[in-house]
Structure 1
């Protein structure tokens, strides 16, 4: 089990590139490192949380009628346009989940179920990755276009490269998530045997920093039931942590 000090060291080394902060000065991210997780399939508790999220999504859509009209979804669509992505073609993770909520959110395993539910309940993009497969701390940057991204096409592993200027999460070995919060790479994806995970909670206005903390606290509370020796470390990134 990694020591808490090691998790803190990884998170303290994370950063947001100045080019990203210039693009969206209102951007904030909460990074959550969790160790001691005991993998397991979807269970009654994770299913109940997903049902709560589905009901919350239906209520929000009854008020706003269209997913893209939800304030935080609209903010992310604008952010995507700002770096050249097409939000109708590559939807941020929050919008993708909300569009599935009406017919039922996926049941994957209890770890994935929990963070998907929190994403929908708090209407913020939220990604989960296997921290043991990281090489160095996570960084949010504007891509040069040379960073490798391992993904799959037609069942085969392929290496792609982001567009120049695209907003990406990366580590020393390449891209971990393309287009800010659109698609995660295979190298660091959560697996059935993941015991140490990184969660990234993204926020733009009108989501406040207090609301970001509230989502983080609820995620942490649900994760603590996934093992008797859970260790959780968190770190806030904002425009004061740009490099």
Structure 2
């Protein structure tokens, strides 16, 4: 069913299960809802940001192995904390940083923009269609019987997360597995999205100032996608 909450109601309805904060007390999420996106807007900013991200990744990896980058190392540790193997299921930041030096994937303007900002600011970011959410977002640990709408071997399929896995979910099911590993099909951004929901995931050593700077960069990029764009945001988690 379509989301019938206002952005403010949605943002302040989103929550983080104490079981997740027990796992990582330093975790914070900057949540953004962006309204008024014009799907026909000139999205040249995506090309500019992709270029910046690819150059930034190349510079980082020229002097530092990818798993030694501070935020990637922090997320690898977090994944081990709930039983995931980071070499097999890479957090989204690591996956993008590895690909960026040879060319980031192009999906659609909204996805391309947040992927680029993720690399430049070295923070995992997820983006979804606000109108396709069923109730607010919850970050929790899975029981194992939740449903996740995804693609396997090129075919749509329904999976279940592992028990204890950290997941984002709404009232219908899982929207993202393994904290920020893979997002589902049901709430995915598309070229028709007019209201988007973004999650920026931060662990130490990322500071609140760095987290807010990433959110500001994302909000500014979104402003170029329509004269009526409005950004609402909230930080949840450790303060």
TM-score, normalised by the number of residues in structure 1: 0.93
Moved more, 203-212 or 54-63: 54-63
Deviation at 1:36, TM superposition (A): 0.8
What's the RMSD between the two structures over aligned residues?
1.4
Aligned to 1:52: 52
Q: Please, which runs of 5 or more residues in structure 1 have no aligned partner?
A: none
Moved more, 104-113 or 164-173: 104-113
Aligned to 2:174: 175
Q: Deviations over 1:189-214 (max 9, x none)?
A: 11111111100000000100110000
SS in 1 for 2:224: helix
Q: Distance in 1 between matches of 2:40 and 2:88?
A: 33
Q: Please, which runs of 5 or more residues in structure 2 have no aligned partner?
A: none
The answer as to whether partners of 1:42 and 1:110 remain within 8 angstroms in 2 is no
4+ runs deviating over 6 angstroms = none
The answer as to whether partners of 1:135 and 1:171 remain within 8 angstroms in 2 is yes
Q: Distance in 1 between matches of 2:108 and 2:131?
A: 19
Deviation at 1:156, TM superposition (A): 2.2
Aligned to 1:150: 149
Q: Distance in 2 between matches of 1:225 and 1:170?
A: 29
The answer as to whether partners of 1:42 and 1:108 remain within 8 angstroms in 2 is no
TM-score, normalised by the number of residues in structure 2: 0.95
Matched, 1:189 2:188: yes
Number of residue equivalences = 235
Aligned to 2:67: 68
Distance 1:29 1:22, change over 3 A: same
Aligned to 1:202: 201
Distance 1:42 1:181, change over 3 A: farther
The answer as to whether partners of 1:134 and 1:188 remain within 8 angstroms in 2 is yes
Deviation at 1:42, TM superposition (A): 8.1
